[in-house]
Amino acid sequence: MDVARVEVYLDDQEKPFAILDKPPFVLELDPSTLAEGTHYIIAVVHYADGSVDHHEYVFEVRRKGPVFVGHIASAPVMSPIELKMVDSVELEAPAKPDLFKHAVLPLLLFLLLAGTALWLARVGEKPVPGGVLAAGGKVEVPAAPAAGGGAAAAGLADGKALYEKHCASCHLASGQGMPPTFPALAGNENLADHEMVVKTVLHGRPGTAMPPFGNQLSDEEVAAVVNYILNAWGNNYGTVDPEFVAKLR
């Protein structure tokens, strides 16, 4: 039979909650507009031949967080209408993404971090008298004639690390020493005598607290630590090479 219209009654209301007069006969309910608990709907179906039929729906509305959720507890099998629970929040169009926040800003932050990393990498090496003080304090000395007429000056070994391991406990990391027992190396004009400096590191100084390191350090390591001392803390006393050290052993 053809349906002429459907009158929908909600709970105990005397007047129709909605009137459906065109197919498809679909009723959408927003559970957020209803109180929590059990509700029912009576669908009064009017057919074209004048006959009338009644169909009852039972549904539940519960609050979950900020949202009301509804579900149908029971529905008639042969009802001509379809009941849907649709929260109005679900019908809202999703917000458009913020282009600046989600695309431009991350790109700018990436470029800033990349630029900072590049800058730090470049300033990690800076010139010091007689060579280059690289990141970590390693003195890398360019090839140049050394005292005693050697070839390239020592720079492969980490002079600063060797100094901190063997010398800093007495002469301090600042090179200021603890005079008179441990003389200052920063600004010490005696460092201009390369032969004296190398022999002191190799053989120590009898009658003082300076021990020999020739039996612990290779020629390259002695040259590296000497070059660090010659050029750290504002010193500018040139460089030596491993060949020069070897001649003085």
The answer to whether the beta carbons of residues 151 and 241 sit under 8 Å apart is yes
Same structural domain, 133 and 87: no
Please state the domain count of the chain.
2
Among residues 44, 72, 91, which one ends one of the domains? 91
The tens digit of pLDDT for each residue in 82-132 reads 877 776 554 444 555 666 666 777 778 778 888 887 777 766 544 444 444
Same structural domain, 140 and 234: yes
Report the percentage of the chain scoring pLDDT > 70: 78
Same structural domain, 174 and 226: yes
Same structural domain, 77 and 133: no
* CATH number, residue 235: 1.10.760.10
Q: Is residue 108 part of a domain?
A: no
Same structural domain, 137 and 202: yes
pLDDT for 232 equals 94
Identify the CA nearest to 224 among candidates 206, 186, 184, 197.
Answer: 197
Report the percentage of the chain scoring pLDDT > 90: 31
Q: Which residues span the domain enclosing 192?
A: 126-248
Backbone angles phi, psi at 226, to 5 degrees: -65, -45
Q: Which residue has the higher pLDDT, 46 or 119?
A: 46
DSSP assignment of 8-63 equals: EEETT-SS-SEEE-SSS-EEEE-GGGS-SEEEEEEEEEEETTS-EEEEEEEEEEEE
pLDDT at 144 over 60: no
Q: Structure pTM?
A: 0.41
User: In this structure, what token pair is assigned to residue 197?
Assistant: 């400096």
The answer to whether the beta carbons of residues 230 and 191 sit under 8 Å apart is yes
